[in-house]
Amino acid sequence: MEPNYSFARNMARKVLKDYKLSEVPTNLTVIFQGLHLKYIELNDASEIDGAILEIEGKPAIAVLNRARPLQRQRFTLAHDLGHIFLEHIRRDIYDPEEIRESDLQSSGKTKPPKELEADAFAAELLVPYEHLKKYTADMNNVDKLAGIFLVSKQAMTLAVMNLWKRAAKKTKS
């Protein structure tokens, strides 16, 4: 199965609209509350950035790990929200850190399609295309943009690259 990126991105846009999240950085707490997820904060230097835990097969608790960089926590949680909204069956609500790390380093193709879809959802949720377009003047300043959207520089670089790719496609057609 090929990952369906446009479905994932459209779902993220729908969530932003449904939860009236028109400002950046995207307020993930509003979504947790809407899903009636309990929200807890850890201060644990061990492996997790953040996670959404299930109870009896239903997403129940959003966990943020204060000991990890906020940007990483946000991406991990947005990724897990992707699994929920994209209704991935038997989703890996809890993604162990080491798997995510090795996935990021290896080629995108080896990552399961659902993981790629959840990543695309997270990217659009945290860096909405329509918002990013407004920052044309800052497009070369990844540091500044990462601060505005509260994502890692790596995630921001990818978002900017995607924007350019899409812009290039539009001028061709």
Residues interacting with Zn ion, by CB under 5 A? Answer: 92, 95, 115, 118
Residue 99 Rama label (left phi>0; alpha psi -120 to 50; beta): alpha
Question: Closer to Zn ion at the Cβ: 115 or 124?
Answer: 115
Question: Closer to Zn ion at the Cβ: 39 or 94?
Answer: 94
Question: Closer to Zn ion at the Cβ: 96 or 144?
Answer: 96
Q: At which residue do the structure tokens 């509350």 appear?
A: 33
Question: Closer to Zn ion at the Cβ: 88 or 135?
Answer: 88
What minimum distance in Å lies between the beta carbon of 96 and Zn ion? 10
What minimum distance in Å lies between the beta carbon of 49 and Zn ion? 12
Contact indicator for 151, 75 with CB cutoff of 8 Å: yes
Within 10 angstroms of residue 149's Cβ, the number of other Cβ atoms is: 22
Which DSSP string corresponds to 1-23? ----HHHHHHHHHHHHHHTT--S
CA distance 38 to 12: 21
Contact indicator for 26, 124 with CB cutoff of 8 Å: no
What minimum distance in Å lies between the beta carbon of 70 and Zn ion? 19
- The residue nearest Zn ion at its CB is 95
Residue type for 40, please? I
Question: Closer to Zn ion at the Cβ: 124 or 132?
Answer: 124
> Which three-class secondary structure state does DSSP give residue 39?
strand
What minimum distance in Å lies between the beta carbon of 112 and Zn ion? 8
What minimum distance in Å lies between the beta carbon of 130 and Zn ion? 25
Contact indicator for 40, 63 with CB cutoff of 8 Å: yes
